[in-house]
Amino acid sequence: MGVTKTQVFTDKQNRIADLAKALAHPARVAIIQHLLKEKSCVCGDLVEVLPLAQATVSQHLKELKNIGILHGEINPPRVCYCINETVWQEAKAIFGEIFEPDIEVACCK
């Protein structure tokens, strides 16, 4: 197996890739959409909203939390998750920069 070459890219490029990877699963997109729609922290009811097992939902929450886009509050037996506003704004800005420029392709038409 090859060695990753992330060190040859800028910190910003690696951050963009990490955010994109975290958002690259429809279950994670659904989790984020649900949290944004609720406009509050969600405690334990994601399994009722998503057609996935608790263990699967937990794994997706872990991935989103690892990247920082979610933060959680542990209040046994419940864990509440919210969108991390700072990281959410960072992701919006980063992806906005990527998709903002209009392109005029002169080839491949």
Q: According to the 3-state scheme, what is the secondary structure of 78-89? A: EEEEEECHHHHH
Does a structural domain hold residue 4?
no
28 neighbors 64 (Cβ within 8 angstroms): yes
Average pLDDT over residues 52-67: 91
Mean pLDDT, residues 15-19 taken together: 94
Total domains present in the chain = 1
- Structural domain contains residue 5: no
What pLDDT, in 10s, does the model give residues 74-101?
777 777 889 999 999 999 999 999 888 7
Residue 68: predicted pLDDT: 95
pLDDT at 21 over 80: yes
Residue 98 lies inside a defined structural domain of this protein: no
Which residue segment(s) compose the domain that 64 sits in? 10-92
